[in-house]
Amino acid sequence: MIKRAVDFLKKNGNKKTVIIFDTDGDGIGAVVILAKTFKKLFKKTPRAIPASHDLFFITKNMFQEIKNKKFDNIITVDIAVDEDPEYILKLAKKSKILIIDHHQINRNLNRIKNILHVNPSLEKIKIPPFNYCTSKIVYDICNKLTNIEDLDWLAGIGIVNDRSENKWKGFLNKIYKKHNISLSKLRLINNMITSSYHHSRTKGAKKGYKACLEASSPIDILKSRTPNSKKLKKFYNIIEEEIVLTMKDWKRNSEVIENKKLIILKLKTKFSINSPISTKISKEKPNYTVVVASKRGKMIYMSMRRQDKKVDCGKIASKLSKEFKNSSGGGHKPAAGIHIMAKDWTKFRKKMVNIL
């Protein structure tokens, strides 16, 4: 898995490249590791484009932008593009594609010409694929190309974001010692980075990416030492206030279906906080499936959580999405996402209850 990706980058790294990244801490950590490695080896930083954390595919607009720029290489990180591969397959006709991901596999795209699909689910490894975060995979790949041990904290951000600390204790302990930082501070940095997307979606996520690209160490972000990290601090304060207000009233505003161990909460907020809210509620109610939804335009976006892992959120989200037009979903066993057209909500809710 690692060797094939190393060979891909050795052969193609000096060509015109774009990286499409998920906008959580794992995706941003992964893209910045790649960008800094490219700069070190090939003396140039590739174009980086954030993908909506609420989607699992390359959108039509993104496809057109990438197609028109005629990139030789397209790399995606922490995006389950195999859930809906229409546009990535079209791009593979003209470009070399490297997919680096750790979500549940829907399709193995290695059979397609010009595509290298790297995912721990496709290999026999001891660690659960969910815990082998994309940023750590990217770190392991790039560290085979050149020494990037100074970037270990970016992989640490991804590990913390995906709550995989228990699987990487030795690696994280080295980060704490080297950078004079604690686990709680690393979590705070991750929350600052991810608040960029929660605040203003992909536009904000560009600030999160740039802040990490500017930073020489995690302390640069923690102490707001760079121009974009100062913006992250502002985003973080706003989002934390919104989360506190939402959590204060979540029990009163939610629907609880006891016989299905299901909690449904529909948010009314201008911010994209489905993910942190669903995570916080599921920590309080680990034996419940938690679905947090919000409407934007004609679509409803949802985050699904189940801390005790007795329900496979990724498989349910993927299965449900296939029953609705303009829908996509997937993720991991304890955490997943799905979006549907708003007009399908009643029908979707009924199917979701029945499937649990």
CB 165: neighbour CB atoms within 10 A?
16
Phi, psi at 22, each rounded to 5° = -70, 155
From residue 234, alpha-carbon distances to 26, 85, 154, 193, 243 in Å are 21, 36, 21, 11, 15
Q: How far apart, in whole angstroms, are the C-alpha atoms of residue 193 and residue 181?
A: 16
pTM above 0.85, yes or no: yes
Q: How far apart, in whole angstroms, are the C-alpha atoms of residue 5 and residue 7?
A: 5
From residue 280, alpha-carbon distances to 121, 286, 290 in Å are 27, 10, 10
- Tell which phi-psi region holds residue 114, choosing left (phi > 0), alpha (psi between -120 and 50) or beta: left
CA dihedral 122, 123, 129, 134 (to 10 degrees): -80
Mapped onto helix, strand or coil, the DSSP state of residue 336 is strand
- Per-residue pLDDT tens, the chain, 356 aa: give them: 999 999 999 999 999 999 999 999 999 999 999 999 999 999 999 999 999 877 767 888 899 999 999 999 999 999 999 999 999 999 999 999 999 999 999 999 999 999 999 999 999 899 999 999 999 999 999 999 999 999 999 999 999 999 999 999 999 999 999 999 999 999 999 999 999 999 999 999 999 999 999 999 999 999 999 999 999 999 999 999 999 999 999 999 999 999 999 999 999 999 999 999 999 999 999 999 999 999 999 999 999 999 999 999 999 999 999 999 999 999 999 999 999 999 999 999 999 999 99
CB 56: neighbour CB atoms within 10 A?
27
Mapped onto helix, strand or coil, the DSSP state of residue 267 is strand
Q: Which amino acid would we find at residue 226?
A: T
Burial of 33 (0-12, 13-18, 19+ CB in 10 A): buried
Q: How far apart, in whole angstroms, are the C-alpha atoms of residue 293 and residue 231?
A: 27
Q: Which amino acid would we find at residue 181?
A: I
Tokens of 172: 């994280």
Tokens of 310: 């007795």
Tokens of 175: 């980060």
Domains by residue range for the chain, with CATH: 2-214 (3.90.1640.30), 250-355 (3.10.310.40)
335 forms beta bridges with 305
